[in-house]
Amino acid sequence: MKPGLLLIGGATDRMMARFNAEFTVHPLKDIDDLAGFLAEHGPEITAVATNGHDGVKPQIMEGLPNLKVISCYGVGYDAVDTATCAERGIIVSHTPGVLNDDVANTALLLILAAARNLVFNDQYVRQGRWVKDGNTPLTRSPEGKVFGILGLGRIGERIAEKLAQFNGKVVYHSRNKKNNVAYEYYDDLTKMARDCDYLIVITPGGAATNKLVNREVIEALGPSGTLINVARGTVVDETEMVAALQDGRLGWAGLDVFEDEPKVPEALFSLDNVTLLPHVASATVETRQAMGDLVCDNLSAFLKDGSVLTSVPETAHL
């Protein structure tokens, strides 16, 4: 008999084919009575496939007494309680590395969109205003500017490399200084924000980074600054950011992520100085295929010898 897999969230046909080959798959979306399902089938489930947004809710964790592995479709795993997993001996895997380029490209896309007022200009043409009202105001060049990266990890480093095309200066803040890079390090985020034209947020989410970009940091970035967030909505104090964008204490923002997705503060909809994306930084056919393959490879490896290819650090010892 094949082991049981609970599928939380979506999966591509390619992933489903591999899940079905090795597991008896129970998609959460098809389960009407979760408590009843967990009581009847919970003990049969040894694996969960989920994503960075849905994670695994406490009710589900508690209802799966024989859970051994959680394979996460995404590099961020803040929605999975890894402390409980480590205690229970459950290995958690994620998809590091394979999405670096597309997430970094999205950061550059948002930088350019903010600098050149892309959305405003596009709407201006579509609404027939070019003919009626003439040329639009000048925009700003990203060339030669100072780019501060908050979180110089796998993706942050890739963003830094790609930013070289703008012939500016890259600086960074994280908890630890890196010895293998030449970029200037700031141990103080507010100081870095003060010195930057662009602040690019690419840390993990979770308690340790909650509202790291607070009012003080936002005001240090200031009216000529641009905030780019491709990390998690929770890393930025959203209420403070919206207020600062409204009254001009913060110049511009390019946002892929929000505190309460898919809900986005409506106040942002009417602002010309923001560019909004629906959490799509890794959402290309190519990268999502690579992520999906790694989700399946991790589960296959686990079935083979009880290990995974890319464990999160918190369960790497298991």
Please report whether residue 140 would count as binding ligand 8YV according to CB under 6 A.
no
Task: Answer positive or negative: Cα dihedral of 202, 194, 273, 163.
Answer: negative
Which residues, in sequence order, are bridge partners of residue 104?
none
Q: Which residues lie closer than 8 Å to 302 by C-beta, 6 or more apart?
A: 47, 68, 69, 71, 91, 93, 308
Please report whether residue 99 would count as binding ligand NAP according to CB under 6 A.
yes
Please report whether residue 292 would count as binding ligand 8YV according to CB under 6 A.
no
Please report whether residue 264 would count as binding ligand NAP according to CB under 6 A.
no
Measured between alpha carbons, how far apart are the two ends of the chain, in Å? 26
Q: Is 5 helix (H, G, I), strand (E, B) or coil?
A: strand
From candidates 56, 64, 75, 221, binder to ligand 8YV by CB under 6 A: 75
Residue 51 near residue 30 (C-beta atoms within 8 A): no
Minimal distance, residue 62 CB to ligand NAP, in Å = 25
Q: Which of 94, 232, 238, 288 is catalytic?
A: 232
Q: What is the CA radius of gyration of the chain?
A: 22
Query: Does the annotation mark 41 as catalytic?
Result: no
Please report whether residue 151 would count as binding ligand 8YV according to CB under 6 A.
no
Going by C-alpha positions, the residue among 213, 300, 287 that lies closest to residue 250 is: 213
Minimal distance, residue 179 CB to ligand NAP, in Å = 12
Residue nearest to ligand NAP (CB): 153
User: 11-40 mask for ligand NAP (x: CB under 6 A)?
Assistant: ------------------------------
Please report whether residue 205 would count as binding ligand NAP according to CB under 6 A.
yes
- Label each residue of 261-294 as H, E or C: CCECCHHHHHCCCEEECCCCCCCCHHHHHHHHHH
Query: Does the annotation mark 261 as catalytic?
Result: yes
Minimal distance, residue 213 CB to ligand NAP, in Å = 10
Residue with tokens 């491709």: 230
Contacts with ligand 8YV, residue ranges (CB under 6 A)? 51-53, 73-76, 99, 279, 282
Catalytic residues: 232, 261, 279
Site of interaction with ligand NAP (CB under 6 A): 75-76, 96, 99, 103, 151-156, 174-176, 202-205, 208-209, 212, 230-232, 256-257, 279, 281-282
